[in-house]
Amino acid sequence: MSQPVSLLKTGITGLALLASNALANTLFWQTAANNGDVAPGGNSAATFRSYNQPAINDAGVVVFRARSSSGQGPQVDGVYMIDLSAPNPIVKLLARDDTVPQPNNTLYTGTLAAFTEFPSTPRIDAGSDLIATRGQSQPVWTYVLDGAETRIGTSGVYAFPDGVPVTGASLLGGVVEADQVTLSFPWYSVPGALLGTRFEQFPGSPAVFGGRYIAFKGNYTDPIDELGRTGVYYRDVVQTEPEPYTGLIANSDMVIPNQPAGGSVTFGSTAPPSAANGYVYFTGFDNEDAPTLGGIYRARIPAPVPGLAAPLPPALNVIVGVGDQVPGEPAGTSFNNFGEALSVSSDASRMAFWASWGTETFPKLLICPSDGNKDRIAYCNSLYPSGLLVQVPVNQGVFVYDASSGVITRVARTGEEGIEDFTFWNFSGRVPGVGGSTEPGLELARWRSGSFVALSTTASGPVQVAFEAQRNGTAGIYLRENVASPGVLQTIAEVGTTPGTSVDPLAPAGSLVSSVGLERDGFRNGRIAITAGMLYVDPADPDVSSSWAGIYMAPPPLDVIFRDSFE
C-alpha cells in the first residue's frame, strides 16, 4: 500500500518525469519536509523518519502527520503544517505527550492527560487554515459513576481555529455530574440516539469546511438494544457560546434513500466524509463487505437557527448508487461498490471517486509490512505468516461527478492504458492487549483496502484528477486533465522509473522513487501534494542501499505537465 514516507526540506527543484521511455519536460517540486528536517517542538536531534499523505488548501498550506526519532530512540508521532506560499518553517500542531485540550481533568504523575497517537491523516479546509485531526490519548476525564471513580475519554477529533487546539468531538457525551443525572458535556453526546449516549470511536480522518466546521464518522452502541451503530456527524469548532451541539447527517437508524419503494433497509455502514463549501459527501451501504444497497450521498449543512440547539438532519441527495449504470460501459452494466475516499472540489461542485462493477476478480497476495508499529507487524504475522490471498475486482474505475449537470464521467479504468488496479492494502487498527485501553469501539487490526483519488479545479483551468494506480507492473500517481475532453494520461511520479533526485536533490544519487502517496485533499487549486520515498540499491551489491523520503508539492502549470508520449 502507498505509505507516507520520510521527507527533507529544500526549496523548489525540478522533477523530470519518465514515461513510455521518453523524458518529458520538468515538473517543479517544492519540499515541505524530509528526512533531513528536525521535527519542531522535540529533541534537537530528532529528524523526521516516516510520513502519511499530506493535505493542502487553496493557498498552499500543507498539513501532514509524521514520525520522528533521535538515533535508536522511540519514534514520536506528530501533526505538522507548513505554509509553502512563502519561505516558512514547519510548525508543530500536536505531538505525542502533548496535553489534550479541555475537557481534561485527569492527572498522571502531576501532568494532565496527554496524547499517545494520531492514527489518521490530518485534513485542512480548502478555503481557510482550519485543520482537524483524530487523536488517541490517556483517559482525559475522571468522575464518579455509581459510587466508583471512573476514567474515560481516549479518543477525539481536535481542530485548530487560529492555530489553537480545541476538542471538536469526544467520548465524554455520557459523563454525568454528581447528581448522576445531569450531563456534563451534552454537546458531545450522539445526536439521534437516546439522550446521553456517547461515542466510542471516530474511525478515519475528519473533514474540515466553511472555516468553522468538522465532519466525521462516529461509532457508538445503542443502549436500548446494545447493538453497534455508526453515523456521519458535524460540529462547529469556532463558536463557543452557547456551546454548539453535534449535528446528525446520517446514521444506522436511517432508511437508505435509493432503494425500491417500500423498502426499509437502514445504513449498515458509513464512511468518513469529505466536505467543502457547506456540503458533506459520504459513502454509505447496507453491508460494507458485500453491499447490495447504498451509494454516495451529499448533504447541505443547515445554517444555525437561533434557539435551536440541535438542528434536524439535512436531506440526503443521492449522487450515485449500487445498481446504477456505469458510464462508458455497455447498457445494463451497474456499479456494485464505491470507495470511501471522496475528493471534493473547493466549491463542492465536483467530486471524484473510485468504483467497481462486475463479478470478475483476480487474486492478490498480501504480505505483512516490515516497517511501522512493531506490535501490529507481529500481530499481522501471527495471523498471516504466509500472507493473505484476497480477490480484487477486475473492473474498476475513477469517475467525476458534476453537481451542476448531474453527469458522471469516467476518468480512467482498469484494462486500459496499462492500468491494472486502483486498490492498495494496509494492515491497520488496534492490536489486542496493547495500549491498555478498555473502552469499546476500537476496531481490531485487519487488512483494509483503499483507493486514492484527488481532484483539483481552478478558476481558469480544466478539471484535473490525480490518482494512484498499479500500471504496467509498477505503481505511481497519474493525472488526467480536462474531464470533459480527456487528454492522454500523464505521470506525476512512478515507482522504479522516476529518478529520486528529480523530486528531491538530497535523495541518494542514482536512486529511484520507491513509494508514493496521495490523499483525497492533496490536490487543490492546481497544486498537488504527495509523499515520496526514494531508494538506491548498489547494482554490484544489492545488500548495499540508501533511502530518502519526504513530502513534496508541485504547482503543475497546464503547459508544463508531462505527457506519456513522445513530444
Please spell the DSSP secondary structure of 386-435, one letter per residue: T-EEEEEEEEEEEEEEETTTTEEEEEEETTSTTEEE-EEEEEESBPTT-S
- Is 90 among the domain residues? no
End-of-domain residue from the set 322, 350, 379: 322
Nine-digit cell at 565? 508520449
- The arithmetic mean of pLDDT across residues 143-167, rounded, is 95
Tell me: the pLDDT tens digits for 278-324? 999 999 999 999 999 999 999 999 876 665 666 789 999 999 999 99
Element (H, E) at 282: strand 279-285
- The arithmetic mean of pLDDT across residues 38-62, rounded, is 93
- Claim to verify: residue 35 and residue 165 sit in the same structural domain: no
pLDDT band at 331 (very low <50, low <70, confident <90, very high): very high
Listed in order, strand segments (DSSP E) in 52-206 are 55-56, 61-69, 76-83, 91-95, 107-108, 111-112, 115-117, 123-124, 131-137, 141-145, 148-152, 155-159, 166-170
End-of-domain residue from the set 290, 322, 354: 322
Q: Is 96 helix (H, G, I), strand (E, B) or coil?
A: coil
- The pLDDT assigned to 9 comes to 31
Would you put residue 162 in left (φ > 0), alpha (ψ -120 to 50) or beta? left
Q: Which residues pair with 162 in a beta bridge?
A: none
- Claim to verify: residue 285 and residue 238 sit in the same structural domain: yes
- Claim to verify: residue 149 and residue 182 sit in the same structural domain: yes
pLDDT band at 14 (very low <50, low <70, confident <90, very high): very low
- Claim to verify: residue 29 and residue 109 sit in the same structural domain: no
Helices of type H across 269-337: none
- Claim to verify: residue 356 and residue 297 sit in the same structural domain: no
- The pLDDT assigned to 437 comes to 44
pLDDT of residue 559 exceeding 60, the answer is no
Q: What is the reported pTM?
A: 0.91
Range of the domain at 375: 1-79+334-567
What does DSSP say about strands 316-321 and 294-300: parallel, antiparallel, or unpaired? antiparallel
- Is 293 among the domain residues? yes
Nine-digit cell at 352? 471524484
Handedness of CA 19, 25, 28, 31 (dihedral sign): positive
Closest to 352 measured CA to CA, from 393, 295, 411:
411
Print the SS3 string covering 16-43.
EEEECCEEEEEEEEEEEEECCCECCCCC
Could you tell me how far CA 446 lies from the centroid of its own chain?
17
- Claim to verify: residue 178 and residue 309 sit in the same structural domain: yes
- Which range (443-447, 449-453, 475-479) has the least confidence? 443-447
What's the mean pLDDT when you consider all of the chain?
Answer: 89
- Claim to verify: residue 517 and residue 414 sit in the same structural domain: yes
| Structural domain count, the chain | 2
- The arithmetic mean of pLDDT across residues 416-432, rounded, is 91
